[in-house]
Structure 1
Amino acid sequence: MNTFEKNVKIKLTSTIRPIDGETENYEMWLNGSFIEKSGKAYLRYTEVHEDQTVKTTVKLGSEQALILRNGAVNMRLPFSRDHIENGHYETQMGTLPINTNTHSLIHEENSELNVISGKFKVQYDLIISGQPVGKYTLEIQYSEGQ
């Protein structure tokens, strides 16, 4: 079982185009970990929003990917290129079924000079309880050190 972990700096850029309403853009800089386990790559980081903590794990891939969030937000967001995937979002009122319709999924890893870095980008439609809510783009760039 080969597992290794490196500390990385993460730049997270998110664009949300709701069905009705204004486009929203977010950018965050975070410290996290890049983990390679059994040939699969993961990013792990913690977001803090107004004293609420969310631990996020991203399973990176170009065909399939998965975002798991635990803490103030609990959700499972799976991505599969050209397939609609089933996930869920837990609220105080209960669990909502969510679907992702993934349009593009890219994971590029650079391992030049033994420095871990890469880019993950996913574009998808988010559907909550059967209703399309918007088009989402998430881009994560990560690199070791500096």
Structure 2
Amino acid sequence: MSEVEKNVKIKLNSTILPADGESETYELWLSGTYIEKSGKTYLRYEEAIDENKIRTTVKMDNENALILRSGGVKMRLPFNTLQKEGGHYETQYGTLPIVTQTHQLTHEHNEQSVINGKFHVQYDLIISGQSVGKYTLEIQYSEGQK
């Protein structure tokens, strides 16, 4: 099976509604790579927060998805519309188990003349049995024109 790898521009919108606070929204524009491998679709990008570089891989599907982060932040964040999923977030004090309860998950992809698409997930983040907030993540990507 062939592998497709293309440079893409990525617009990332993240909204966090903490259980005890006001909503926060972040928007990032990044350069990344779109990868199709063994029938699976991935986005890879790198962001810099404070002095740390964070490498992120998003494995996208319509029923489940996975966000893996490494570097300045180490995290495994799985999404499944049918059941709660366990992941983890590594801190300087140790590994914190986290759970996601996915409410909505879509991945729209178009490959007519250039690759573009949109990945959207809405979920509750659960730590120690308590929801710490409702999260919405939307990633739009399109093949970069060189």
> Which TM-score tier does this pair reach, normalised by the shorter chain?
over 0.9
Write the deviation string for residues 63-104 of structure 1: whole angstroms up to 9, x where unpaired: 010000001110000000131000000001100100000000
Give 5+ residue unaligned stretches, structure 1. Answer: none
Corresponding letter in the other structure for 2:46 = T
Q: Which residue of 1 aligns with 2:140?
A: 141
Corresponding letter in the other structure for 1:25 = T
1:33-52 aligned at under 5 Å gives the runs 33-52=33-52
Give me the TM-score of the superposition, normalised by structure 2. Answer: 0.97
Aligned length: 145
Q: Give aligned-pair identity as a percent.
A: 68
Shift of 1:138: 0.1
Give me the TM-score of the superposition, normalised by structure 1. Answer: 0.97
Shift of 1:50: 1.2
Corresponding letter in the other structure for 1:135 = K
Corresponding letter in the other structure for 1:138 = L
Looking at structure 1, the residues matched to 121 and 83 of structure 2 have their Cα atoms a distance apart, in angstroms, of 13
Q: Is the 8 A contact 1:96 1:129 kept in 2?
A: no
Give 5+ residue unaligned stretches, structure 2. Answer: none
Q: Which residue of 1 aligns with 2:110?
A: 110
Looking at structure 2, the residues matched to 30 and 138 of structure 1 have their Cα atoms a distance apart, in angstroms, of 15
